[in-house]
Amino acid sequence: MNERKYTFDSFECAIAMLAPVCDSCGTQIIGHGLENGDQFFCCAGCARQQGITQLRDHAEL
């Protein structure tokens, strides 16, 4: 039981370490996010809040 829980926690930590964090709202981006150079955003709305207007959500394509 403890071993299984430990494995699960490590997996979550691995995701947390790999996932970029939105530069605007701080949300952890798991899956599709937006990238602008070395900045990451969870959605186009957050990118716009940082003055970046050329990015769009994948869903808008």
Q: Which residues lie near Zn ion (CB under 5 A)?
A: 22, 24-25, 27, 42, 46
Q: State the minimum distance, in angstroms, from the CB of residue 61 to Zn ion.
A: 19
Q: State the minimum distance, in angstroms, from the CB of residue 37 to Zn ion.
A: 16
Assigned token pair, 2? 């403890």
What is d(CA 52, CA 17) in angstroms, rounded to the nearest whole number? 25
Q: State the minimum distance, in angstroms, from the CB of residue 24 to Zn ion.
A: 5
What is d(CA 48, CA 7) in angstroms, rounded to the nearest whole number? 38
Taking the least distance from each CB to Zn ion, the nearer of 6 and 24 is 24
Contact criterion met (CB below 8 Å) for 21 and 27: yes
